[in-house]
Structure 1
Amino acid sequence: MDKVHYGLKSLKMGAVAGDGGMGTSLTDLGGTLEGSATLTMEDGEKGEITIEEADLPVHTWNTQGEMKVVFDIFDMSPANIARVFGGTASGTGAAETYNGPVVTPAIEQSLEIITKNNIKWSFPRVKVTAKLNINFTKKDVFKATVTCVVMQPTKADTAPFSYVTVAA
């Protein structure tokens, strides 16, 4: 495996597998705006138990910080926006319509990212939220910013993320 991972070749999302593991029917979201895709991890929390009879803790623990993938999409088709916002898409062609959700849904998906040098990152279960970022100008494209918070898969003994080299 390459020691250096870089770039974005593809980004796909789809339903979590029925057993709670990585989904297998993933599709792209119509393209990711250049420079917008990031994977970040927040600092975790630390805790300790101390006693009066000692200066040092008798027990400590750590929790992992939130891990999330954030990216911008520019495919504003009703069907695509419904994937990340919820709501409904109906009609076809010029009559295609998007209606936003009355209540914000809990959207959970599997996420796959392949880098330019063919490293596949897999996230079996992410919580998807989105927000519109629209400038009504002739020089800016309408976009939606999608945030995918990595969650523990419901399938036993499944890692929340992994990466592996794949064939070109």
Structure 2
Amino acid sequence: MSDAISFHAVSLVATARTALQAAQKIGDRRAGRDASEQQPADDVWFDLEVLLRELQTHVARLRLRAAVGVEDVASAVQSFEDRLLIDDFARVLDVMHQKLLSLYPAVDEDLVEDVRRFGVAAHARALEDDAADGSTEFAIEAARLSDRLAELG
């Protein structure tokens, strides 16, 4: 496959992904699921359980990626997929942060802030040229945060 075809395929995937995420956000808001609004605690706890399962799936994939090394052409594809995965992880953390704010002060302020900080760091990491560097450490930190969140419920 030529480089031009590969580039167009990656561009198509990225564009479709962005459109899907925008449609999901619009659908959520129309359905009354807006994470930026204060919500009742029961609704938030339910949403956090669902988000935690999604976060744990991303953590498992991050750890697997860190353990498996891939070279040459597959490396470019792997790098793109890793960036998408890290971006998904960051997106889940953004929503979790908003949900946790609805529960504050019933939840630890440090945890709420750690979720926010790690989400910001993950968004930045997804855009870095060397996103693969330190992937093992990132996966370990992601797992630690996921474990702390799991202890809430």
TM-score range, shorter chain: under 0.3
Structure with higher strand content: 1
Higher RCO structure (Cα 8 Å, ≥6 apart): 2
Q: TM-score, normalised by structure 1?
A: 0.21
Structure with higher helix content: 2
Q: TM-score, normalised by structure 2?
A: 0.22
